[in-house]
Chains A and B, each alone.
Chain A
Amino acid sequence: MNQTWIILGGTSTIARAFARMVAIRGDSVVLAGRDMDELEKIAVDCGLRGAPRADSIAFDARDPASFTPIVDLAKAEQGTVSAAVFVGSMPAQEEIDADPSLVDGTIADSFTGPARFLTMLAPVLEERGTGTVVGVGSVAGDRGRLGNYVYGASKAGFHAYLSGLRNRLGRSGVHVVTVKPGTVDTAMTWGMEKLPFVAPPEKIAADILRAADRKKDIIYTPLIWWPIMTIIRAIPERIFKKLEI
């Protein structure tokens, strides 16, 4: 059955691919983010590709005042409402080390902002007893690494939050998917040195949609990251602390 997707972080590369994909199959989209011009362009594109309704709305993970209108919009929606969270920010670890105040913003973008929003949205979904929440985390959240542990910590927090939310919403028929993408070929990773197993955003979007349709709980995408992270998680801390991976 067709539904309406509220897509947070709608201008991100993966979100764009995901929005386009659900639009083509006939779902409606509401794109939420900061760059309104850009969101509107993506919304128009989704509409022309098949979304019965495609809108944009302001959302800033660091400004909870922007959350209420989106929750209200979800309340007013007639059919099934689903939410997909693509927000997050990843300043280089060296930048954070030089300016520790960046820690707060990183955590707000990748964890506390989305968590607060989803906590506000949860009763709306519970009441309807239908819909899906897609939370995009990261393989970086599976283990704190030298290279980006503040970002990793935010995503780890988000993973735990999603796990709890799944436990709660599952009781009323709302499904929560945790997505852990590896490195994706996005504007954020373009030009970064030697990334392993870089996947195109369309592949990630397709995996996410399949996981949502099949009510998977946690997915790694591309799948190669599941064995990789299984091994990385299994390394004893005594050894891991000396590694640079």
Chain B
Amino acid sequence: MRWKTVDYAGWGRVHTATGEMARPERIAAVRAIVAEDPAPALGMRRSYGDACLNDEGRAIDMTRLDRILSFDDDSGLIHVEGGLQIGQLLKVFAPRGWLPPVMPGTGFATVGGGIAMDVHGKNHHGAGSFGQHVTEFTLMTPKGAKVVTPGKNAALFKATVGGLGQTGPIVSAKFRMLKAKGDVMVVTERRVSNWEDFLPLLDASDATYSVGWIDATATGEALGRGILEEAETGGGLVRPAKRGKRVPIDAPGFALSPGVVRAFNAAYWRKVPAKGRTVVKPIDDFFFPLDKIRDWNRLYGKAGFHQFQCVVPIAAAGVLRDMMEKIAKSGLASPLAVLKRMGDGRAGYMSFPMEGYTLALDFRNTVQAERLIEELENMTAGAGGRIYLAKDALSRPESVRAMYPEHGSWLKAVSKADPGKAYETDLVRRLKLRETQ
């Protein structure tokens, strides 16, 4: 296998790495690499921080292993290679009435990455996490391919799902697709005037897919105002979304300055009529709204940005309100703030989801933003919640340990699968996740 020295970055572009990368096109090539000199497997590198980096080490780019290996029309059971992008899967199967069971906010995420982060989607409250739909996956080990099921290899399964790639490359996976009515989304959008109204609406929602967008710049009476989107799949003809607009250069610093963001958010909020509305959207427009703009991360300029995402238990919802207040007052928030009700579905020791509310926000990379994120993280910990490692770039070992109570079980299984720590990434080292104490 040939290796190429590559400079790469997490999606937030704050952390970067330089290292040798292989890009196998056959599973046999992955076997050869792992037998000789195992290295962490990477997908489309949509993790925001350093979960997808191995600075000064080697890595395996899995994106060319993107084939569909089998599909059963009756049960919806599908077998795909780990590098297949979830959005591609949607594109191929939605016209035939099948959807990936769980879709994260970007369709560029791969199946392997989806497992390693145990991703959730807008249907988490009903459908659970991605890993819960996985019936089997194949890990590449120095001794060859190893088929792992939740029944036969429970510990290894739970250490791999949400396990940050620490058990080795996921070369293929089987999971069940969901039956859909058609390949469009019927979306009901409702204006929500403040935080006090938002949570009850999320709690009461019985839609299959739901998500709240929050204007994180609104203060006072309007604090926590936003738009609630509830959606179901539907049939009918909608013209496909126009894709492929690209952000050609790094935007200047003022592009997302507080004034611009405030104006944008106010306009966006008013776009939905006071009475609400129901619209029919192309399916990928609903699930992957930002994928329409390629390389949108460049909007934050050279310095990059952070995404903060936490989940807190239902009883601690008050803490979220305090967070919103702090964020609104800081004036640091970007247009993209998302609030969602989560179910308790999770499939791995280190999976992010817990029953409660999850809040996600972007911040341009500044010292003030880092300080604010630290405060938000402390508030999360105090509320018995946790932060999402797929997004994290700033956390510290102690706090993550406290947030992930099953870390010990994970570490035990991971140490067994990879005693040589060959799969450590920058995030794993930064958070000392592979160290006993």
Residues of A within 8 A of B (CB): 11, 13, 16, 35, 37-38, 41-42, 44-45, 48-50, 187, 190-191
* Closest chain B CB from A44 CB (angstroms): 6
Taking CB atoms, residues of chain B closer than 8 Å to A38 are: 26, 28
- A41 and B69 contact, CB distance less than 8 A: yes
A86 CB → nearest B CB, Å: 14
Q: Give the contacting residue for B67; candidates A42, A50, A187, A191; CB below 8 A.
A: A42
| B67 contact set on A, CB distance < 8 A | 41-42, 44-45
Distance in Å from the Cβ of A243 to the closest Cβ of chain B? Answer: 27
Give the size range of B's interface with the partner: 10 to 19
Task: Please name the residue on chain B nearest to A12 by beta carbon.
Answer: B25
Chain A nearest CB: distance from B5 CB in Å?
A: 8
| A48-B71 contact given A13-B25, A187-B23, A190-B23, CB 8 Å threshold | yes
Which residues of B line the A interface, CB within 8 A?
2-4, 22-26, 28, 64, 67-71, 92
Query: Bound state CA distance, A11 and B24, in angstroms?
Result: 12
Bound state CA distance, A203 and B28, in angstroms?
Answer: 26
Complex Cα–Cα for A49 and B91 (A) = 10
B4:A191 contact, CB within 8 angstroms: yes
Interface SS majority for chain A? helix
Q: Are B92 and A49 in contact (CB under 8 A)?
A: yes
Task: List A contacts of B25 (CB < 8 A).
Answer: 11, 13, 16, 187
Interface contacts beyond A11-B26, A191-B4: sample of 14 additional A-B pairs, CB < 8 Å, sorted by A: A11-B25, A38-B28, A41-B67, A42-B67, A44-B70, A45-B69, A48-B71, A50-B92, A187-B23, A187-B25, A190-B4, A190-B22, A190-B23, A191-B2
Which residue of chain A lies nearest to B78 when distances are taken between CB atoms in the complex?
A48
CB distance from B222 to the nearest CB of A (A): 46
> Which residues of chain B come closer than 8 Å to A35, judged between CB atoms?
26
Q: How long is the Cα–Cα vector from A48 to B23 in the complex, in angstroms?
A: 24
Which residues of chain A have C-beta atoms less than 8 A from B64's C-beta?
13, 187
Q: Please name all residues of chain B whose beta carbon is closer than 8 Å to the beta carbon of A41 when the two chains form the complex.
A: 67, 69
Interface residue from B2, B22, B24, B68 paired with A49 (Cβ < 8 Å): B68
Cα distance, A190 to B68, chains bound together (Å): 24
User: Sorted from nearest, which 7 A-B pairs have the closest CB atoms?
Assistant: A191-B2, A191-B4, A45-B67, A48-B68, A187-B25, A45-B68, A48-B71
Which of A13, A187, A191 is the one whose CB lies under 8 Å from B3? A191
28 cross-chain CB contacts under 8 A: A11-B25, A11-B26, A13-B25, A13-B64, A35-B26, A37-B28, A38-B26, A38-B28, A41-B67, A41-B69, A42-B67, A44-B69, A44-B70, A45-B67, A45-B68, A48-B71, A48-B92, A49-B92, A187-B2, A187-B23, A187-B24, A187-B25, A187-B64, A190-B2, A190-B4, A191-B2, A191-B3, A191-B4
Please report the C-alpha to C-alpha distance between residue A42 and residue B4 in the assembled complex, in whole angstroms. 25
Alpha-carbon separation in the docked complex, A50 to B96 (Å):
11
Chain A minimum-CB-distance residue to B24: A187
With a cutoff of 8 Å between Cβ atoms, the chain B residues found around residue A50 in the complex are: 92
Minimal Cβ-Cβ distance residue in B for A201: B64
* Complex: A139 Cα to B50 Cα, angstroms: 40
Which residue in chain A gives the minimum CB-CB distance to B71? A48
What residue of chain B has the Cβ atom nearest to residue A186's Cβ?
B25
B173 CB to closest chain A CB (Å) equals: 15
CB-defined contacts of A191 to chain B, threshold 8 Å = 2-4
Q: How far is the CA of A11 from the CA of B64 in the complex (A)?
A: 12
Closest chain B CB from A170 CB (angstroms): 35
Give the complex CA separation of A44 and B172 in angstroms: 15
Residue numbers in B under 8 Å from A49 (CB-CB): 68, 92
Quick one: closest B residue to A193, CB to CB?
B4
